[in-house]
Amino acid sequence: MPDFDTGHLFLTFLTPIRRGTTHDLTGTAMSHEQAVRITLGLLPTALQSPATIKIGENSPFARSLQTHLCRFVVIEDAIYNGRTPEDALIASIRDRDPITPQPVDKLGNAYLLFAADIDAVMDEGDPLPVTLDAARQGRVRDAWARRLWERMAPELRSIYENCVGFDEVQTGADFARYLKKCQVETTMPFHDYWISPPKLSNLPVPLLAIAALLPLGITVLAFLAQVFGVQAVPRLGIAPGWLALGSAAVSAAVLYGLYRYVVANGQKPMPPAQFGDLPSVLKSLYLQQHFADFALAHQGSSAKNLHAAFGAFLETHTPADTMAPTQPPGVISVKAAQQTGPVA
């Protein structure tokens, strides 16, 4: 479930990196792990600092209007965190010698981690969904993967050719199937486009408490009645012990039911934030910059002039249209985008 939250898909892919040796373009021999690190090191990042702006080559992910953030990490092995700590007294009672080495966990393979936060939509610019079942999540992921392939197949190939089983990937559909095989559940998504607190599905705590305590209370009362020698429960006519047993069983069932209910409630995805889709985020950055310029330029204008100028502002910048005009992805500001020219 946590793959989907706030109208976004939080995707995590773990792909085993091939063992053995490969060669780079100069014929130098190297491991696939080295090759993938070199390729990733050369992959341009977004134009966000003087250094990257000077290079001028934008991240290939800036060709997507759906990917908020993504990262590649080479996981060479499980991190060794030292011996499992143990109470010294217990260890000595169990006759465990701390000098004897404990087994060390190792991964069978190095892995390439690819994590991406994307709008959970079939087409760029679609509104964010509130809920999305597993099947539709898969369809969204596949559509995104196919689009990624369309726009950056050479880069993806240069990375993934060092991974196991990539030889068979020829088309966008192949790549989508490949990623699907590598997907693992994202257990901790993070979203921060809130402009107001989200409407959460809060638990009806008093009702839940009554539901839980009522059968428990009956159990305790009936048990006490049995202990103090009450012969039969009025109206029911049975011994209180039987009632205690019965209501204990009901209590257990109710508590389990409530537990399932609370967990299920916790599993509900958070609702999408208003304007939390990437085109809206970019458009708001665009509008914010232009509106700041507008406010400064028209400071102190007469109401009539201001009205006319704002009319022209609305016409030029069309706030309702999230797709255009807007700030392109992968740049730090509208001005930076103008300086660096059209984004590839």
Partner 1 sequence: MTRQLDLNDIQGNIPRAYGRFAFPFARYFFLNIRNQDAGRAFVTTVRPRVTTAAWWTPDTKPKVTLNIGFTHPGLCMLGLPTRTLQGMPESFTDGMKARAFILGDRHPDRVEQDDSNWCAHWDPIWRENRAGDAGRDVHIWISMNAQLAQLGTDQPVPDLEAQTDWLRGLCSDSGVRMLGGHGRDGAGDFQPASAIFTKVGDAKFPTPREHFGLTDGIGDPVFQGQYPPDREKEAVIGRGKWMGRATGWQPIAAGEFLLGHPDESQELPPTAMPPNVMHNGSFMAYRKLHENVGTFNDVMATEAKGFARVMNVPEQEARETLIAKMVGRWSDGVPTATAPTFEAWQATRDQIGLNDPDPARAMQAQRAYLRSAASSDFRYADDIDGYKCPGGAHLRRVNTRDYLDPLNTPGKRNRDATTQLNKRRRILRRGLPYGPDDSAHKDDSTEQGVTMMIIGASLFRQFEFVQQQWIQYGLDFHQGNHTCPMLGDHSLHTRYTIPSDPKSGKPPYIMGGLKTFVETRGGDYFFLPSMTALHMIALGIVDPT
- Site residues (vs partner 1, CB under 8 A): 50-51, 53-54, 292, 295-296, 299-300
Question: From the CB of 300, what's the least distance to partner 1, in Å?
Answer: 4
Question: From the CB of 95, what's the least distance to partner 1, in Å?
Answer: 38
DSSP-assigned beta bridge partners for residue 69: 117
Which among 156, 152, 252 has a CA at the least distance from the CA of 212?
Answer: 252
Any idea what the Cα angle at residue 277 is, between residues 174 and 117, rounded to 5°? 45
Which of residues 120 and 334 has its CB atom nearest to partner 1 in the complex? 334
- The letter for the amino acid at 274 is Q
| Other Cβ atoms closer than 10 A to 14 | 15
State both tokens at 244. 């205690």
Question: From the CB of 294, what's the least distance to partner 1, in Å?
Answer: 11
- Classify 183 as helix, strand or coil: strand
State both tokens at 177. 């199937």
**Cα 324 to the chain's mean position, in Å?**
27
Which of residues 88 and 295 has its CB atom nearest to partner 1 in the complex? 295
Q: 125 — alpha (psi -120 to 50), left (phi > 0) or beta?
A: left
Which of residues 223 and 291 has its CB atom nearest to partner 1 in the complex? 291
Question: From the CB of 119, what's the least distance to partner 1, in Å?
Answer: 24
Question: How far is residue 102's CA from residue 55's CA, in Å, rounded to a whole number?
Answer: 49
- The letter for the amino acid at 79 is I
Question: From the CB of 189, what's the least distance to partner 1, in Å?
Answer: 22
Phi, psi (degrees; rounded to nearest 5) at 58: -85, 160
Which of residues 129 and 330 has its CB atom nearest to partner 1 in the complex? 330
Which of residues 188 and 303 has its CB atom nearest to partner 1 in the complex? 303
User: In the chain, how long is the greatest CA-to-CA distance?
Assistant: 95
Question: From the CB of 63, what's the least distance to partner 1, in Å?
Answer: 25
State both tokens at 236. 């029911």
Which of residues 297 and 324 has its CB atom nearest to partner 1 in the complex? 297
